[in-house]
Structure 1
């Protein structure tokens, strides 16, 4: 009787701890998502305040994404080597440091540095959170838990742009960093008091760090981003046909060099017993195809987050508040759709949902490109809402199925690999997009067009739609049931 009572009490305490951990994790994710989304409408404001162009303005987003990639590289090793609680606390403290740096920024470079610090911390937090969620809940509840996670994150993404736009419009840009400080303090207190100390015996303190893999990937990323940044100088001035040909040859040669070096790094990681990133997880076909979908959906989403504020504020001449309204409505629609899709994927799998979501998100992106001929706010709200339905159906359900196909002890590594793949590719595409818009709009304006930047954005949206449609075969490869 006493043993039964003791077991019942332990189970009750365990359930209480699970609920506490869930609330803490969701709030931590909310802070990161809110901070990121609140800054998106302010990119044109940063461009105006610090007198920079769209290429440098895009680094407010790129610096965060690139630094997050570094954090993701480290997360798998730190999760194996150390207890989750101190790593979580250190990452949240780092995010707070980034917020303080942002408040004190006196030029664009300092703003970018602050976002890099926040990105590094966020990259440590996200895979750890997802891994803990998958550890404390059984597989048959993964869809619902990830749907709950998605709703909370989507709500912060929804209200972040509106609150951010209000702060910029009524106060000053630095309040975008200051507003997160009280939330960060609350999260740190909750982590300290509510998350229990883990069993230290479960951590591999002797696990070696893949220094070669880490350093080589960092060098590769930095070299690539520096090279991409120099393209602005090359393509914004008039050049002769001979120079054109030489530049195309150089561009092709460097592209092949970066591709070959990436393949070499991939092969090196596959041979390691303790890799920086467990690229062998891509041997799991369900996980592979879910990543293809999540990467393209992320690229499309982040490009819309970058381009929509510029379109509304620079092209249409509306205030930042309208950017917040459009993004809020679209994200609310996506969160409702995510809730529905999360319940459905537990019963019927992600194949049908994924195919429907990809189709809707691609067609709505084409609709958004068409809207730019005569853009109006109500049409943008409607189109972005339809796109929100597509994102809600395509992104989280397919990602959930991919994670569920992995062993539980590999989910944190899988989350890190998924996130870093999305971040690196998004950073590359965003950089190329800003360079293209800068050069293309200058070319159109020189030719006498008065809608240069709008036409360039329109062309990018068409490319995004086609990219999304090409992922339909991956959705067809997903299982019908979990």
Structure 2
């Protein structure tokens, strides 16, 4: 495949779009109470500002591969960026909640089109032997945005101008659009196939994703997690996804046969597991820090900064090692570090110091950085060039659904196990919370070491790594 010699402008164009989308998502998390006050609505209603975005993005992901085959990756990426830009501009001037939710749906549609294509466009522009470093840079940007987003969002809300939460997207989004138009090129794999649209498959898959994400999005309180209605919706969604997977159709919306490629399959497992571990930390650590050790929310935020910094640094390092020595050892070291530190997070006591937990989280971030991006890059690198978009969509979709399900299950286990422990063993809620958190981290650590074993058995040794040209 002919490579684009202007790789850095291409990478810059993709990073601007990626940064804008991820930053906007994290900006809004601390702003929901302000929107509830502005529109005079309850917390459940205002939560749809977040839920509709996740829901529409999830429904759009399966369409990205089809649109990319039909129109080309560059055009689809540009359409996604334009839709996100329009959604941001309209959201800034919305006068009621319904209009804002509609604008967020438009942003979610745009994000669902452009996010899976970001890595594949980088692959198109960058030689195979340099993709690790390039995707490492992409990973740093994807970590930087959610790290600064909540703080920046809080500052904007403190100045009582919620419209800035959306206006702040416009400069980077416009710059990303201009550079994308100027520097992105259609890849040789964009052969614009006219395969028919799998309407029946999309019906089942969209129903499965929609029901599942709707149920999971509402399982954010103890009452909703215990709701049979939401579990019924989740079960119905999973059944629809199963019907889609096992249904026989000539032109399937998702190319599930890619999972037969061992390195892609195992790479997807590794990236999905690291995502679960990442989100689980954001669920459990704040509970422990604030409810067990009684530190403030500010301290909780500070704890995650070294974690994010180390993750970013070692994403770059991991990408560089991947380019030079292959994926096997760098991912193995990353999983090993992540597994050890996760097990240590399962051994906390009521006297463990805040700084020791911060150190553990930072070292664990290094493990995430070494394992996640190299595993993703190696997995996609094992695919044929004309299957990169389909592989990226499949990877993103599996990661999103599995992570959401895993976090809800962990939340449910945490609540039930904590309350049972408090009653049966006469522990305080604080002690019971710590015990349950320890148990979940130990379980996750064991799973990580199992995946490490699978990775070492399935990935080629360094001497067998063949760089795709």
Confirm or deny that 1:300 pairs with 2:277. yes
SS at 1:26 equivalent: helix
Aligned to 2:199: 211
Q: Which shifted more, 123-132 or 224-233?
A: 224-233
The runs of 5 or more residues in structure 2 that have no matched partner are none
Q: Deviations over 1:412-431 (max 9, x none)?
A: 11111111110111122223
1:265 to 230, 239, 244: 244
Q: Which shifted more, 144-153 or 409-418?
A: 144-153
Using the alignment, how far apart are the partners of 2:362 and 2:189 within structure 1? Answer: 48
Confirm or deny that 1:156 pairs with 2:135. no
Contact (CA 8 Å) 1:165, 1:320: kept in 2 or not?
no
TM-score by length of 2: 0.80
Using the alignment, how far apart are the partners of 1:44 and 1:313 within structure 2? Answer: 20
Aligned to 1:29: 18
Aligned to 1:333: 310
Aligned to 1:471: 451
Alignment of 1:71-470 (within 5 A): 71-99=60-88, 117-168=106-157, 175-195=164-184, 198=186, 202-204=190-192, 206-225=194-213, 261-268=240-247, 271-312=248-289, 320-371=297-348, 373-374=350-351, 377-439=354-416, 449-451=428-430, 456-470=436-450
Contact (CA 8 Å) 2:190, 2:386: kept in 1 or not?
no
Q: Deviations over 1:59-83 (max 9, x none)?
A: 8776554433322211101111113
Q: Cα–Cα, structure 1 residues 272 and 74, in superposed 2: closer, same or farther, change >3 Å?
A: same
Q: Following TM superposition, by how much is the alpha carbon of 1:203 offset from its aligned partner in structure 2, in angstroms?
A: 3.9
Using the alignment, how far apart are the partners of 1:259 and 1:81 within structure 2? Answer: 29
TM-score by length of 1: 0.78
Q: Deviations over 1:95-122 (max 9, x none)?
A: 2355457657899998877665444322
Using the alignment, how far apart are the partners of 2:374 and 2:48 within structure 1? Answer: 30
SS at 1:336 equivalent: helix
Contact (CA 8 Å) 1:330, 1:385: kept in 2 or not?
yes
Contact (CA 8 Å) 1:66, 1:424: kept in 2 or not?
no
RMSD: 4.1
What is the number of residues matched between the two proteins?
A: 453
The runs of 5 or more residues in structure 1 that have no matched partner are 1-10, 238-246
Q: Which has the higher contact order (CA 8 A, sep 6+)?
A: 1
Q: Following TM superposition, by how much is the alpha carbon of 1:89 offset from its aligned partner in structure 2, in angstroms?
A: 2.7
Q: Following TM superposition, by how much is the alpha carbon of 1:318 offset from its aligned partner in structure 2, in angstroms?
A: 5.2
Contact (CA 8 Å) 1:37, 1:157: kept in 2 or not?
yes
Q: Cα–Cα, structure 1 residues 31 and 320, in superposed 2: closer, same or farther, change >3 Å?
A: farther
Aligned to 1:15: 5
Q: Deviations over 1:251-308 (max 9, x none)?
A: 8x9998766654432122xx44432111000111111111111111111112223444
Contact (CA 8 Å) 1:348, 1:480: kept in 2 or not?
no
Using the alignment, how far apart are the partners of 2:437 and 2:410 within structure 1? Answer: 9
Q: Cα–Cα, structure 1 residues 396 and 234, in superposed 2: closer, same or farther, change >3 Å?
A: closer
Contact (CA 8 Å) 1:134, 1:408: kept in 2 or not?
no
Q: Cα–Cα, structure 1 residues 444 and 172, in superposed 2: closer, same or farther, change >3 Å?
A: farther
Contact (CA 8 Å) 2:132, 2:374: kept in 1 or not?
yes
Q: Following TM superposition, by how much is the alpha carbon of 1:166 offset from its aligned partner in structure 2, in angstroms?
A: 4.2
Contact (CA 8 Å) 1:433, 1:460: kept in 2 or not?
yes
Q: Cα–Cα, structure 1 residues 474 and 409, in superposed 2: closer, same or farther, change >3 Å?
A: same
Q: Which shifted more, 63-72 or 203-212?
A: 63-72
Q: Cα–Cα, structure 1 residues 120 and 474, in superposed 2: closer, same or farther, change >3 Å?
A: farther
Q: Cα–Cα, structure 1 residues 341 and 266, in superposed 2: closer, same or farther, change >3 Å?
A: same
Contact (CA 8 Å) 1:41, 1:324: kept in 2 or not?
no
Q: Following TM superposition, by how much is the alpha carbon of 1:344 offset from its aligned partner in structure 2, in angstroms?
A: 1.3
Q: Deviations over 1:395-415 (max 9, x none)?
A: 111111111111111111111
Q: Following TM superposition, by how much is the alpha carbon of 1:227 offset from its aligned partner in structure 2, in angstroms?
A: 5.7
Contact (CA 8 Å) 1:329, 1:385: kept in 2 or not?
yes
